Amino acid sequence: MNARRDKLSQSLEDYLEAVYLIEKEKRVVRVKDISSFLKVKKPSVVSALKALEARGLVNHEKYGYVELTPAGKREARRIYRVHRTLKEFLVKVLGVEEAVAEEDACAIEHYLHQDTFDRLVKFLEFIETCPEDVPFWLRSFHYYAERGIRPPECGRGKRNSVQED
């Protein structure tokens, strides 16, 4: 696991990711942009930026623009990649609605172990490179998730899942 990640709080990761996303869209980032993006007050943004600046992840002069340092950009890309991958998994594999997947990905991204993330990436790569457009087992799962019953082609199958008592 990345040592810097252990030192950043969930909140600081959110700020770093926000700066990255705003910068991608607008090229310049201001405190008010971050405040609006994260729906927080400007003094909270300034406080977070000071903490990120102390860690060498952003540059920010009072009343000036906010810029990611090279280290900040690497970390923000990593955070965003985890977020994007989680959202993709939730939408494409589990069939979660996009808005819910976005919210859940934002919450989960801060707690996912690197080994789990690496495995998730491999799983998505496997599905995407499968010769079938959508693998049979995934189509069957979506059918089951939507209707609460197995598709006819699955038969009854075994029940090895955890059940409530």
Lowest mean per-residue pLDDT among 104-108, 112-116, 153-157: 153-157
Residue 39 has pLDDT above 90, yes or no: yes
Relative orientation angle of helices 10-26 and 70-88, to the nearest 10 degrees: 100
pLDDT band, very low/low/confident/very high, at 121 (cuts 50, 70, 90): very high
> Which residue, of 42, 75, 108, is where some domain finishes?
75
Work out the pLDDT band at 101, boundaries 50, 70, 90: very high
What is the DSSP secondary-structure string of the chain?
A: --HHHHHS-HHHHHHHHHHHHHHHHHSSB-HHHHHHHHT--HHHHHHHHHHHHHTTSEEE-TTS-EEE-HHHHHHHHHHHHHHHHHHHIIIIIT---HHHHHHHHHHHTTT--HHHHHHHHHHHHHHHT-SSSS-HHHHHHHHHHHHSS--GGG-S----S----
Domain annotation covers residue 158:
no
Same-domain pairing of 145 and 103: yes
Residues 105 and 143 in one domain: yes
How many beta carbons lie within 10 A of that of residue 48, not counting itself? Answer: 23
Same domain, 28 and 55: yes
Residue 65's domain comprises 3-75
Domain match, 58 and 113 both: no
59: domain CATH number is 1.10.10.10
Residue 165 has pLDDT above 90, yes or no: no
User: Is the domain of 37 the same as that of 87?
Assistant: no
Both 26 and 87 in one domain: the answer is no
Confidence check: pLDDT of 2 > 70:
no
Tell me what the mean pLDDT of segment 62-85 comes to: 94
In a domain, 162, yes or no: no
Determine, yes or no, domain membership for 164. no
On whether both 87 and 51 belong to a single domain, the answer is: no
Which of 5-14, 40-49, 59-68 is predicted with the least confidence, judged by mean pLDDT? 5-14
Q: Based on the domain organization, do 70 and 22 belong to the same domain?
A: yes
Number of domains in the chain: 2
- Among residues 41, 75, 109, the one where a domain terminates is 75
Which of 48, 75, 102 terminates a domain? The answer is 75
Q: Kindly state whether residues 9 and 67 are assigned to the same domain.
A: yes
